[in-house]
Structure 1
Amino acid sequence: MIGIEGVSKSFSTKGAGLVTALNTVNLTIQDNEFFTLLGPSGCGKTTLLRLIGGFEAPTTGKIRIGDIDAASLPPQKRPVNTVFQSYALFPHMTIAENVAFGLQMLKVPKADIDQRVRAALSMVRLDNYASRSPRQLSGGQQQRVALARALAPRPKVLLLDEPLSALDLKLRKEMQSELKRLQRETGITFILVTHDQEEALAMSDRIAVMSAGNILQMGEPREIYDNPQSHFVADFIGESNVIPGTVLGRDPAIMIAVRPERVAVSPAMNAGQGRARGTIASVTFLGLDTLYEVTLDGGSKVRSRCRDAELSLTAGQSVVVDWPSGVERHLLN
């Protein structure tokens, strides 16, 4: 559905000269895929989304949408719609009028508009809210209206620019499920931009992890989580212990990455050698889990998330840490 070939984007800025936001990015996104661009602020993910949407033009490279060479097409000529972080609902219009607005701009016949508005509101489960104004809705409901408005014209691609960031935790979780449901029901290609790794892991078919204008790793959520290919990806996707190889008597040219949920902590007096010895620095109760931070004898820190309520380890206690063979990943130092 989307082909990005050798796309770069540079901006001229006062004082800083030419700034490169994207550096020769190559990317293919499939039809009917939920694809996420994930990375910290300033990594280039929103710039890439804006290039796909037509709000910016690439400095170099090609952008294909379906069979269309889209690099020079304005936004209104692309089979793409965008849901923005701010929702951008018209406060003087009803919910139905907000959803109908884009269809009116496309000169869709009125009878078809009415049918599509009803269908879009039904899709986001707001059938009974058509006559209300945006100010009469909660944040989550306003987000659904913005989705309905974007889906009503039946685009081939829906761009989602951090659409859940303004919602509280419970609403974000609910909307994650809603977005995935809508993507499956409509068959539309969804492209999400977020800096929230948990959000990306929960919803995506594939994820591209970005940093400094480059795609560092791309793949299915579990593949990226279990097999990070760099220190940055291991540290950014979920929690990860990244330990110098020398601490564990390994090659000093490598770093060892292991997830906290894979790390077991035991009292030193009751265990064998383990991987390393250390001292409990802190204990944090997290509900289902307890987070232990261990200072290893070599000075490095290791975190362990355990569900064994009977451990009852305390700060200052001597322990050994261990993990199963095959769960650690070796990264170049």
Structure 2
Amino acid sequence: MRYRGTNDYNHRQPPRIGVLVTNLGTPDAPEKGALRRYLREFLSDPRVVEVPRLIWFVILHGIILNVRPARSAAAYSSVWTPEGSPLLLHTRAQAEALQARLTAQYGDTVQVEYAMRYGSHSIPEQLQSLLARGVQRLVVLPLYPQYSGPTTGSTFDALAADFRGRRWLPELRFVAQYHDHPAYIDALAASVRSHWQQHGRADRLLMSYHGEPQRYLEQGDPYHCQCHKTSRLLAEALGLSGEDYLTCFQSRFGREPWLTPYTDETLQELPAKGIRSVQVICPGFSADCLETIEEIGVENRDYFLGAGGERYEYIPCLNSEPGHIDALSAIIDQQISGWLPLSVDPDATQSRAVAMGASR
């Protein structure tokens, strides 16, 4: 086996710290061909679909890839912007904001890049960009607050697969979850309060997370528990009682049982219980995408209003809002605190991280 290296590597290049923020990915265009390529890669990941490979190969190539791309292309077209995919735009903006924040603090010592698990801007491509800049210590921050095998676990798989073929490996720190980080909870609470100030409160605050099969929970995946902890901490920060909010799960796929209660069914049932106004937030999504803009913002709105609801509001994801960048910066500060070169004042970093945690 030949291991990949960096051509003309400069051994005198100053060592740097790299930060790689990652998200799920997006098709290159809202078109059937692009969706087919994207879905083939995404749904071929054994972390995403835990079905015997031969059986799944037949289902995927014989049925799903012949039906779903056209349907998904129509959905993506409804959220696509002149600049491209919302998820890609928001993830890029987050990385740029983090780079600006960390450059102001550390100069060019810390280099930030973003990558997608599937599709363009892949993890190997963006990782190579960081290593070419002299990165010898690397923090990987998957932008999934709650750990899940199909998301965070799959990201680590891709990273490990790339590292297996490299001649030289950087020191590595991998952020597996930040569902209960005080700065992240503060950012979520601030976004809800800001929405309340502009629109007032509704009868219920519904916290909707992406679903996953029930059997993953039964086999030890912590995602369900971490989602509920995020909800509880956010409710406490907002001063909500147990009757003021709900935790639900969306985007189920296939016929097997997924985590319940389901978001769509819950919204259809609430009006009959006297709940005529709801506000929905998605604390498991770091950036707005198809599942938040179209599924929550449009499809589930129709379910609620069609069942007799009177007022439905979606509270956008944190995206690149300053409070979110504060939270992500605090997480990164904690990870790199022991890696700082002597020319950087570690006391300033520690003070900032402590201040972020004490702000609750």
Category of TM-score, reference length = shorter chain: under 0.3
- More strand by percentage: 1
**TM-score calculated relative to the size of structure 2:** 0.23
- More helix by percentage: 2
Of the two structures, which has the highest relative contact order with CA contacts closer than 8 Å and spacing of 6 or more?
2
Greater gyration radius: 1
